[in-house]
Structure 1
Amino acid sequence: MERPQPGQSATSKPLMLFEVWYKRIKYFFVGIFVIILLVFSLAFGLLFGFFMSMTTHSENITDAHLRALVLKVPGDEQINYKKKDFLQQYDASLNPLLVGPESVNALIPKALVASEDSLYYKHDGILPKALLRAIFQDIFRTEASSGGSTITQQVIKNQVLNNEKTYNRKANEIVLALKLERIMSKEEIMYIYLNIVPFGRDYNGDNITGIASASYSLFGKPPSDVNLPEAAYLIGLVQSPYTYTPYYEDGTLKKDSDLEISLRRQHYVLWRMKVEGVITEKEFHKAEQYNIKAHLMTKRP
């Protein structure tokens, strides 16, 4: 029988030692991975259970009840919501402050989507990435704040829930937004939003609600007649109506330095419209030169 050569014995020991430590390290990391996986699974289960407990009421709201809650628009007493064409009824309404697609310049909803919810026609009511980003910003109290709400969620917040900044309200908002997208069309949700969203103050210092009221109050014309820079200015107001409103509480027009913040917001809306391909570079620059202040309504002397 042959004896192992001395060189072979010296080489095999390091290899055996390496194999032993390799297995130990491998099993250690596999064990750590399994533990982490179990912890995440448990945390996800607890969060899911907590989410479900918060949204029990919203889950129990029927489609018909949700639709009735959303369709509460000022001045809609003559509208028959049992008919499916309520947007056409808006356009035919004797109330000039209640508007549908034919009563609004197409630039207005385009400006809204471009600046507030660019994926509006693609999502199902919520944007998971935006929600996660908003939660991260809230947890870590970051200075930068980007809203996680879609147009659909804002309709739910304004029509069904409230403005409380709580996780409970946000959870219910998510559930109801997903449900609303199943029972109403994108166009219907869009015009409900445009008819109920606040736009700040008018030249009398009164609060204004709805795109028609805002158009008449700020520019003295119906929303079908506003031009591109005026449409962008109106839509710029919806993010923070009482910050961007061009009027002080008594209705007087703000001085130039205070008006500048709303003009910057208008330019942002125009820029987003250009980025989204809604307007051309030439239209963008021409709209930026428009003197909004000269066209704003003021109190008569």
Structure 2
Amino acid sequence: MARQTYDKSVQDSNEIRPFHRYEIVYKKIKHIFLGLFTIFTCTFLILMAISVFYFQHLTDTTIHLSDKDLRLNLLHIVGDEDIDNTKRNILEEYNHSTNTLIVGPNQVSPNVIKALTSSEDSLFFYHNGILPKAIVRAVGQDIFNTEAPTGGSTITQQLVKNQLLTNERTYDRKANELVLSMRAEHVLTKDEIIYTYLNIVPFGRDNHGSDITGIASASYSLFGKSATNLNIAESAYLIGLLQSPYYYTPYAEDGSLKPDQEIKISLNRQHYVLKRMLVEEKITPDDFKNAEKYNVQQHLIIR
């Protein structure tokens, strides 16, 4: 009887021992993972704190810029002497400006706005000045030193960059651009942003080889008409120039038309803008087909 009890005890011990080993191994692994998780969490928090401190350091001057000064700086347009930028309804000031090259909603065809928001910033009326997805992509491009970075700046960011910053590819400039863009959405309405942008953005060269600034100047210089009368095809062509004005411009430095094969580059860009307008449902399939048939090149002003 004692022998049987002893054998049973040994058997039970032999069965328990492997589980005991497994428990020890499990605890060790758990402790290792907990340790790694703690180290990772602490490192992450430290890096986040450093990043926040560094970001605040980069944007220190920007943060202390008052809303009033920010608004005035964003709204400044060359030749706006007759415009009172302190007025709340700046769009009315644009509409009634004696400078014909400064235009408001009354002087710009809706086709221009449709082309701009479809191709340059399809979420313009929904975001708060920046697109996190685009920022992450830009960071990735910077880390991997991509030579030809894709676009991603919102119209608000482009306005801020043109009015307040430079084109330098530095962390300082980009950090300030992000902060100022989000603030711009609070001191300006969406319409104020988009029409101010259209008034100050470069469109390349005219038929005299001179630089063009603003949608009104671009419309007169390329098609000899006011921005109010731009059709879908012409609007798409002009907005297509914005991505790289002096690359897509149809005019050479002396004001002469570029060779057909070079003008075709800007026409391909126009096709992209029209395609985006169709995808975003800003135009109908029939509008798209008719715009594609319109011979923009024949309507360009030549000397």
TM-score by length of 1: 0.96
Separation of aligned partners in 1, 2:30 and 2:289: 62
* Residues 209-218 or 79-88, more deviating: 79-88
Q: Give the secondary-structure state (helix, strand or coil) at the position aligned to 2:262.
A: helix
Q: Select the residue among 236, 241, 266 that pairs with 1:237.
A: 241
Amino acid at match of 2:21: L
What is the CA distance between 1:93 and its match in structure 2?
A: 2.1
Give the alignment of 1:122-133 within 5 angstroms. Answer: 122-133=126-137
SS class of match (2:227): coil
Q: Distance in 2 between matches of 1:26 and 1:49?
A: 34
- Output the CA distance in 2 between the equivalents of 1:63 and 1:81: 13
Q: Which residue, out of 30, 45, 51, partners 1:47?
A: 51
CA distance, structure 1, for counterparts of residue 11 and residue 231 of structure 2: 90
Task: Verify: 1:211 aligned to 2:215, yes or no.
Answer: yes
1:228 to 209, 213, 232: 232
Partner of 2:104: 100
CA distance in 1, matches of 2:12, 2:263: 87
1:17 matched to 2:21: yes
Q: Which has the larger radius of gyration?
A: 2
Q: Does 1:173 align with 2:173?
A: no
In the TM superposition, residue 144 of structure 1 has moved relative to its aligned partner by 4.9
- Specify every segment of 5 or more residues in structure 2 that has no aligned partner in the other structure, as ranges: none
Selected match of 1:298 from 296, 299, 302: 302
Q: Look up the equivalent residue of 1:230 and give its one-letter code.
A: E
Does structure 1 residue 196 correspond to structure 2 residue 200?
yes
Tell me how far apart the structure 1 counterparts of residues 43 and 86 of structure 2 sit (CA, whole Å): 50
Alignment of 1:77-156 (within 5 A): 77-156=81-160
Distance (whole Å) between structure 2 residues aligned to residue 143 and residue 284 of structure 1: 33
For the residue of structure 2 that corresponds to 1:224, the secondary structure is helix
Matches of 1:89 and 1:183, distance apart in 2 = 17
Is 1:247 matched with 2:251? Answer: yes
Q: Residue 142 of structure 1: CA displacement? A: 2.5
Structure 1 runs not aligned, ≥5 long: none
CA drift of 1:57 comes to 0.3
* CA distance in structure 1 between the partners assigned to 2:234 and 2:16 by the alignment: 83
Alignment-mate amino acid for residue 174 of structure 1? L
Paired residue secondary structure (2:204): strand
Q: What secondary structure is seen at the aligned counterpart in 1 of 2:203? A: strand
Once the two structures are TM-superposed, the CA of residue 7 in structure 1 deviates from its matched residue by 3.6
1:265 matched to which residue of 2?
269
Alignment match of 1:186 (pick from 184, 190, 205): 190
Report if aligned partners of 2:76, 2:85 keep a CA contact under 8 Å in 1: no
Equivalent position amino acid for 1:173 in 2: E
Question: In structure 1, what is the Cα distance between the partners aligned to 2:279 and 2:162?
Answer: 29
- Structure-1 separation of matches of 2:24 and 2:148: 51
Alpha-carbon distance in structure 2 between the residues aligned to 1:161 and 1:29: 47
RMSD of aligned Cα (Å):
1.4
Amino acid at match of 2:176: N
- Decide which of 285, 288, 300 is 1:281's aligned counterpart: 285
Per the normalisation by structure 2, the TM-score is 0.95
